[in-house]
Chain A
């Protein structure tokens, strides 16, 4: 019983981090139709930037803002400097995944070259853990859950109720149509990359915060779980990604009760099963809606 409630507590934290990451990833895909394999490494860059800020004396909140900002800036940069030019040059969507992989390799090795192989951790003050309903959550874990909940709520409100949000959804649904309706799709796209990049950055910082220490490749390692959550909830669907994050986050922590090794395997098994029985994910009936000339 005790182990179960503990695991549920951890599951909430993991789901929170995963939700930030998966929603960002899926948003990027939704608007650009590109599977950005460099996403994990942008998380790492953001976490390192937050670390620098933190090492410079700032508190965790400021470090988180730095991380989010870094994620946003880097994402917009890679979109405008790399992805868009390649697309304009006529590279097919299919070949873009190779471009994003190259980018991931460059980023990851650049981080390694600059930061070195040493593990880092954020300097933080010890606080008292919260004991609630059989779960034990450190103050930082509570912060993570809070930040995730607040960010996703803000995103939801943005998508639903603001003009920008509507423009985002329209561009995601049909870019051609959106452009012909007068929506400045380039600007909307940049905004989408900024927002999803911010989520990516937050995911990186919260993940680093939750681990005892992190190195240059921790973000890339988490990418596989993010992909599993995004695919589970249908890539491109933010609410699906949230659901996927909850399911996979919980499942992996619960599986860890048996063996810690099972944690990552769970995400993979869910991914394989979803692809076997419902490849388009839970939120869609078929691939048709997203397969616009994706050669």
Chain B
């Protein structure tokens, strides 16, 4: 394989890793917890911006880009700070966006917040360099390791894979736990769960903050590899893209989310690159998004559970073994009585 193809391949895989983390973040918020985070891309953007400025060093008047919070933090601090900032932002937004009891309302407010955030960052150039965004972000360890471009790519891919694994362990542990079950119940009928003693607003906030941290982390990982980030990378269509990925892949299922990341964010997104260019710049993208809209409607209509539906948890497996002989040792309690329906 020629070096160019190798590098492309590595880049694809890193994107896949980042998108998997992002999809798991949105999945635990929406697929598991029922919190429809229409401000998703804002969190990823925060992580990306912070990951950038925290390695670029303080913004000097002479440099070609201006931004806040400049520093040169050693790896992995930028990633950690980004995740923490994502959690903090989620806490702030959640404090008013999660107030309405209706979740479509919450979604709408989050969408509004996201649009406002992108407008503010665009117009207030002092924040993150406005329209041009930040660039020339140094890659971690690059100078120290003095690897070739391809080898460094493999190195970064390995680091990404480690984080993906760690996030998987975390998310899997949480969704398989009684707390995960509680989140799913909240998704199904928050009012009923509330009447059983669960504080819906508090639990929504927890899953929102967790998702916020993971989304920001994914942004930081991405930005330190691609080296640049601008408002073009995070318009609200991107949030929509992630929702398509989850719904197509299978909301509520971690493997489904990963599949969605591969199919929608990987295959579908990349396939546009191979089409012959036609029309004016942006036309292909517009058609692409139209198709995505139709795709999500099709799935919502025909297969709302997605390609890989949520696993059914057969709790009867936790019961002590009835006995290989077929249950004669059981008392009559196990057999449906005459009054059964």
Contacts and interface: CB of A to CB of B under 8 A. Distances in A.
A35 B314 CA distance: 37
B100 A113 contact: no
Interface residues of B, number: 50
B293 A105 contact: yes
A8 to B, nearest CB: 24
Contacts of B103: 94
Contacts of A295: 188-191
A265 B112 CA distance: 11
B116 A113 contact: no
A92 to B, nearest CB: 9
Contact of A106 (B38, B294, B300): B294
Contact of B301 (A86, A96, A272, A280): A86
A13 B293 CA distance: 34
Interface string A254-284: 0000000100110010011001100110000
Interface in B258-317: 280-283, 285-287, 289-290, 292-294, 296-297, 300-301, 304
A94 B36 contact: yes
Nearest to B30: A98
B102 A113 contact: no
B99 A271 contact: no
A95 B294 CA distance: 16
Contact of B243 (A98, A221, A290, A291): A98
Interface string A107-148: 001101100110000000000000000000000000000000
B289 A105 contact: yes
A112 B107 CA distance: 25
B124 interface: yes
A37 interface: yes
A91 interface: yes
Contacts of B237: 105
A91 B296 CA distance: 14
Contacts of B97: 275
Contacts of A113: 283, 286-287, 290
Contacts of A231: 109
For the residues of A in contact with B, the DSSP-based class is: helix
B142 to A, nearest CB: 37
A83 to B, nearest CB: 11
A294 B281 CA distance: 42
A101 B294 contact: no
Given A86-B301, A98-B300, A102-B296, A268 B104 contact: no
B111 A287 contact: no
A94 B187 CA distance: 10
Contacts, number: 124
Nearest to B122: A261
Contact of B240 (A93, A105, A235, A265): A105
A187 interface: no
B108 interface: yes
Contact of B100 (A93, A98, A102, A275): A275
A103 interface: yes
Contacts of A99: 297, 300
A269 B285 CA distance: 33
Contacts of A103: 293, 297
A291 to B, nearest CB: 6
A248 interface: no
Interface string B78-104: 000000000000000001110111111
Nearest to A103: B293
Contact of A109 (B38, B101, B280, B289): B289
Interface string B5-42: 00000000000000000000000000000101010000
Interface of B: 34, 36, 38, 95-97, 99-105, 107-109, 111-113, 115-116, 119-120, 123-124, 188-191, 237, 240, 243, 247, 280-283, 285-287, 289-290, 292-294, 296-297, 300-301, 304
Interface of A: 34-35, 37, 82, 86, 89, 91, 93-99, 101-103, 105-106, 109-110, 112-113, 116-117, 221, 224, 227-228, 231, 235, 261, 264-265, 268, 271-272, 275-276, 279-280, 287, 290-291, 294-295
16 contacts: A91-B300, A96-B104, A98-B247, A101-B111, A101-B243, A106-B294, A109-B287, A224-B111, A227-B109, A228-B112, A261-B124, A268-B112, A271-B109, A275-B99, A276-B99, A280-B100
